[in-house]
Chain A
């Protein structure tokens, strides 16, 4: 401890260098994340009592609790996001397993690129692609008529299932990448050893593969959940006006109603509630946040 108090010029130079290196990150963090959030926090905690007269109050937060539309929209958004995350995991896991453990050399690269290619196209265009496929006069309804599955074209847009499909499609890559890296680090001889000791496919998956990949699964799930919860474009375009997504409520408060106070409060509620859900998820599965983020 004594040497730390001593004025060591080398140590202080090192500290300065570290500070300079971190400066861009700090500027970004403070300027773009901390300051706007402080401003939003202040906004969300005041109420207009008269023109241009404001007072500290919890009114905006009370509105969220008192008005069933708002909290139900949030519950619906969270539930759909959890479902979308689960679907993404179910689809991404076999794909990641194939890429990490079965594909070799060139095939591996090609498969990985195939997962990436949709991201070359902007999210808007991608979602519009879904609309072209699914709208009443679109490709899929016509195909269903041609195959005599439905008598008339059905509108496949503006359904919850459609929103789900769009969300899973958008999120797939963010689940596949951490899963592949988690599964690649699993030593094949562990699987063989478990098999040799009498394990079958199911018990190996449960006792060896999933525990090993758990931080990767959690990392992917957190990223996908957060992206889905905060997604605006996909639910709006595929779900239409009545998709009832929480980010739409925030958008409406800020842009349509010009009620920045209410919008700010909703923004904070989204932040806190999603954090609480992630925390609960980590607690339930016994994961540590630090381990998970190292895998992400």
Chain B
């Protein structure tokens, strides 16, 4: 399959610190690729290198197979949707969308016709003469995307465009973005610190930390088969249990925390007895019961008391303190409403299948 974007061992240093550290990646034609990472992980720097605003200290960026070394941003077949969209307030919507075409020397009538067609495609027919400040947040985003896509770039870069929107609109715009990408078939490279955006939107996601990729894969792979403790902790909610491997048979590990909590988990990578390890258990993997006998057979069992109730509709959870070690575990509440009358301090039992918990060697950063 043709690769629209290839980043080949790109490095960018500020002083002695490598913000982007010998990073490579390939994005297939027509796909939605996200780079997910906490703020300061270097994802914006990487995006700006691809767009051409920064030159890498080392390595090469190829777009559509062509090296971009020495090519300025205004000559790259790439366009960017900025964090705060950066629509030109001194121009109308039509002038915003037509700006790039006019710079390419397209005749006035040609610009008008293509702007008209593009605005129709993004669901804003006849909005040419509106001022930018007359648009809603969602409409502004569509104009920002239309302004880029009208130039038919090989690649559209998006720099956290949903970051400034309120939650409701953000949910709506997520769906809209995905549909726009499917309609146009343009390759999107999207950067975000919001794991839910990355999971919902992308075909593939790269999880970035401290200038390197921890893991690149489909959202499902990242969620169910994280390869590093960072990915396990960053993608989706997770309970982190740090301790030492008391016993390891290569397949399963017995983890004991400093407080004495013992859990069993599936080993990811090679773990020897005595290693410092981190085990991760997703809140929805843990079963909750009022009576230990009600837990599924074969699961490891614990008892505890309800610490706090976190009601959030379908995402409701409860924080339970294990009875002897006081370790706090987040447990997702089932949708049946079985625990609707749960009280703080109520004694409960919980347990999980060891095969669905993952154990990593502490500080493992993948390959």
- Do B73 and A207 have beta carbons less than 8 Å apart? no
- Do A208 and B103 have beta carbons less than 8 Å apart? no
In whole angstroms, how far apart are the Cα atoms of A189 and B75 in the complex? 18
- Do A198 and B151 have beta carbons less than 8 Å apart? yes
Interface of A is mostly: helix
- Do B103 and A199 have beta carbons less than 8 Å apart? yes
Chain B nearest CB, measured from A183 CB (Å): 14
Asked if A190 is at the interface of the complex by the 8 Å CB criterion, the answer is: yes
Asked if B90 is at the interface of the complex by the 8 Å CB criterion, the answer is: yes
Mark each residue of chain B from 73 to 117: 1 if its CB lies under 8 Å from any CB of chain A, else 0. Answer: 111001110111010111100000001100110000000000000
- Do B53 and A199 have beta carbons less than 8 Å apart? no
- Do B74 and A193 have beta carbons less than 8 Å apart? no
Cβ contact of A192, chosen from B86, B89, B147, cutoff 8 A: B86
Cβ contact of A203, chosen from B52, B82, B103, cutoff 8 A: B103
Centre residue among B72, B73, B79, B147 by max chain A CB count within 10 A: B73
Asked if B148 is at the interface of the complex by the 8 Å CB criterion, the answer is: yes
Asked if A211 is at the interface of the complex by the 8 Å CB criterion, the answer is: yes
Chain B nearest CB, measured from A203 CB (Å): 6
- Do B90 and A189 have beta carbons less than 8 Å apart? no
- Do A198 and B82 have beta carbons less than 8 Å apart? no
- Do B74 and A208 have beta carbons less than 8 Å apart? no
Asked if B41 is at the interface of the complex by the 8 Å CB criterion, the answer is: no
In whole angstroms, how far apart are the Cα atoms of A29 and B72 in the complex? 56
In whole angstroms, how far apart are the Cα atoms of A197 and B73 in the complex? 8
Closest to B157 in A: A196
Asked, given contacts A203-B103, A207-B99, whether A195 binds B86 with beta carbons under 8 Å apart, the answer is no
Chain A nearest CB, measured from B105 CB (Å): 10
In whole angstroms, how far apart are the Cα atoms of A211 and B132 in the complex? 15
Cβ contact of B86, chosen from A189, A198, A199, A200, cutoff 8 A: A189
In whole angstroms, how far apart are the Cα atoms of A199 and B51 in the complex? 14
- Which residues from 2 to 27 on chain A have a C-beta closer than 8 Å to any C-beta of chain B? none
Q: Which A residues form the contact surface with B (CB < 8 A)?
A: 187, 189-190, 192-200, 203, 207-208, 211-212
Q: Which B residues form the contact surface with A (CB < 8 A)?
A: 51-53, 72-75, 78-80, 82-84, 86, 88-91, 99-100, 103-104, 147-148, 151
